[in-house]
Structure 1
């Protein structure tokens, strides 16, 4: 058969006849290009592991993975099923993960969640721990010793990696520490110290300093006169430390005879109703003119005392100190019925404790700045500084830190004043 045509055509046909694979490759490339143009340049299968939702635009108009929604590293791992997720540098950087990539589990047993302060602690602690990659199991005992011990025992039997305790009864919870240690689980005391036990770490504020700040603030206003002291729960070591700090500051004036403590009583389980009873008893024993100042162990109990003073027309006339910087107490300070509180930046407490809990779970011993005797051992401790708050520095402390919003403190109508 004779082929006719120009030499060029003849040469071309001869080339493709001799090299048909080249023709096939060229036609395939043309087809792929046409299909890509028709589909709007959609990502190729190699990029499908990273969805559009995982992409954001940076300041240069380029696309990059959105944090937490998918990265190039995650995509490459999906392409290699044999690669362990624990080898992901992003995951490995989280201290709250086990070598297997699973989260460390922190058991958080709390005395109560009835007070505003402890709800904040719970939420902040869980948030801080989860940022580290850990998981938190939270249980509240509602002021019941037996229930707290039972809840802790359940956590221990379920194999938590570390136990964090806010004890209701400082001595009763010593049993929890012993049982946890037998199971190889370390124990951290959060804000309240477990006494007569081998606690591995105690993280709190300087509670003696809290009491000093309360007394010093009131003594500036009332350097001489009759004082009422209303303590917290006598089962709580913190309550004893608050009182110790307050009386350390008061003692020189007591010794000189300038200050006389005319009433001194604990408030069972930190309940405001018992603080109210104490305030009524103090007024009955000394008369409305026989009390010049009141120091109360925390803001919830201070609220109970202020209610009684209000009923007797004395709110705002008798200085009252509290501590915890509860929203209700800050509002009372603005209204003039409570004089001061002590702010303990619990966001920092929660963050530091979460880090320490993770370290303990991994067999590390965090560096302690102090040692606090709990009746059995000198417990390695980290004590954070508290801050006195009155009407003059609310904005610079609790509002500036985001602990309370300006609107919550002053009301929507006065928030911008």
Structure 2
């Protein structure tokens, strides 16, 4: 019996519709499901490492070598393929595509912009390359996340600033230099700080500093000095050490003496020296070795097709997924009386901190015995 043309057409149309619906369902699913890796067992494989090109010196000085070292300790035949992340999201997207095209098996990404990282994460998912979001929670179907508690960072900064201002804090005025608006960590830092500062000190001016740029922080601080007055700024909340540098430079250019207490984050070497000399009141020290170690262990486990549940200490969620395995670490406040912490942890040596220019300040801080 010859098939009826109309029935045949209907069957074909139905089959095409099912294919389209299936494809759409798979497209939606790709943004809801974590990346799955191809099993590698104990053989070698390649881990792509893409870190941001921000002003902080930590990425090249600490994170990259620490991750590389831990990966090779766990897997001697593994390769870490590093690309210095672009200064903007578009450049980082191109670099992520380049890494994926090169045939990596796992991707660790410290994203410049968490939302803009979604296409790269989706492409990795399509290629069955699991993604670990490093230091910043990227959007899309990531497999793991490693960072520090952003709200706790802000709380430590806020508490330190209030302590420095003393009992007169309710009558004092501060300037807030918050992190970049395209970094979701920035809102955690700010909210953590405001949970301590709001109602306990007057916030005279507040700025969100794009791309964590110290030059922009300098400009914003100069604008605050002009608007508020050089003698009416009693403290500066700077979300990281780069912004603290910009704030201090702007105040010194305006001949503000003595400098008011300034917060920071990352324990950059220059910031540690500023703390010793009294130009910066505090920074937040984050053990990069613990963060790098957790990311490397996740990457090696995923590259071998294994679960990272025993590495994770909890879970987080982004707009695509819930219950993402995570390691969220606790930061530490660092003032002049705590500088030995970074020496004991092997971050810096006394000689690195106490160069001839800073030896007298180091002696006053008790670092030279």
Listed one character per residue, the Cα deviations across residues 145-172 of structure 1 (whole Å, up to 9, x for unaligned) are 2221111112212221111100001100
Q: Is the 8 A contact 1:272 1:300 kept in 2?
A: yes
Matching of residue 404 in structure 1 with residue 348 in structure 2: yes
Tell me what 1:392 maps to. Answer: 337
Q: C-alpha root-mean-square deviation of aligned residues, in Å?
A: 1.8
The CA deviation string for residues 255-314 of structure 1, in whole angstroms up to 9 with x for no partner, is xxx412111111111110000011111111100122111111110111011111112233
Return the match for 2:159 from 216, 240, 243.
216
Check conservation: 2:54, 2:212, Cα contact below 8 A: no
Residue 206 of structure 1: aligned partner: 149
1:144 aligns with 2:144: no
Q: How big is the shift at 1:114?
A: 5.1
Q: 2:104 aligns with which of 160, 173, 192?
A: 160
SS at match of 1:179: helix
Given candidates 30, 46, 69, the residue that maps to 1:105 is 46
Q: Which has the higher contact order (CA 8 A, sep 6+)?
A: 2
1:229 aligns with 2:176: yes
Work out the CA distance in 2 between the residues paired with 1:279 and 1:113.
20
Alignment of 1:164-313 (within 5 A): 164-195=108-139, 197-222=140-165, 223-224=169-170, 225-251=172-198, 254=199, 258-313=200-255
Structure 1 pair 285–194 and aligned structure 2 pair: CA distance change class (3 A):
same
How far apart, CA to CA, are the structure 2 residues paired with 1:406 and 1:240? Answer: 34
Residue range with higher mean Cα deviation, 372-381 or 383-392? 372-381
Shift of 1:142: 2.9
Question: Partner of 1:369 in structure 2?
Answer: 313
The alpha carbon displacement at 1:364 in A equals 2.3
Determine the structure 2 residue equivalent to 1:116. Answer: 57
Q: Whole-Å Cα distance in 2 between the matches of residues 155 and 246 of structure 1? A: 37
- State the match for 1:32 in structure 2: none
Following the alignment from structure 1 to structure 2, what is the Cα–Cα distance between the partners of residues 264 and 125? 35
1:399, 1:158 → 2: CA distance?
39
Query: Conserved in 1, the CA contact under 8 Å of 2:46 and 2:105?
Result: yes
1:196-216 Cα distance to aligned partner (Å, 9 max, x none): x12211100111100110000
Greater radius of gyration (CA):
1
Give the Å deviation of 1:113.
6.4
Distance 1:114 1:234 in 2: 15
How far is 1:411 from its partner?
A: 2.2
CA contact (8 A) 1:114 1:142 kept: no
Q: Is the 8 A contact 1:165 1:189 kept in 2?
A: yes
Matches within 5 A, 1:25-64: none
Change in CA separation of 1:282 and 1:113 when aligned onto 2, cut-off 3 Å: closer
CA distance in structure 1 between the partners assigned to 2:181 and 2:55 by the alignment: 19
Q: Which runs of 5+ in 2 are unaligned?
A: 1-38
Separation in structure 2 between the aligned mates of residue 314 and residue 341 of structure 1, nearest angstrom? 21
> 1:46 corresponds to which residue?
none
The alpha-carbon deviation at position 176 of structure 1 amounts to: 0.8
Match of 1:319 in 2: 261
Q: Does 1:350 align with 2:302?
A: no
Secondary structure of 1:245 counterpart: helix
Counterpart-to-counterpart distance in 1, 2:273 and 2:94: 38
Distance 2:58 2:99 in 1: 24
Does the CA contact (< 8 Å) of 2:157 and 2:284 recur in 1? yes
Per-residue deviation, residues 214-246 of structure 1 (Å, max 9, x unmatched): 000111122322121101211111112111111
* Between 136-145 and 110-119, the greater mean CA deviation after superposition: 110-119
Counterparts of 1:289 and 1:169 in 2: how far apart (Å)?
Answer: 37
Distance 1:218 1:114 in 2: 23
Q: How many equivalent residue pairs?
A: 313
Q: Deviations over 1:2-27 (max 9, x none)?
A: xxxxxxxxxxxxxxxxxxxxxxxxxx
Q: Given that residues 299 and 323 in structure 1 are in contact (C-alpha distance below 8 angstroms), is that contact kept between their aligned partners in structure 2?
A: yes
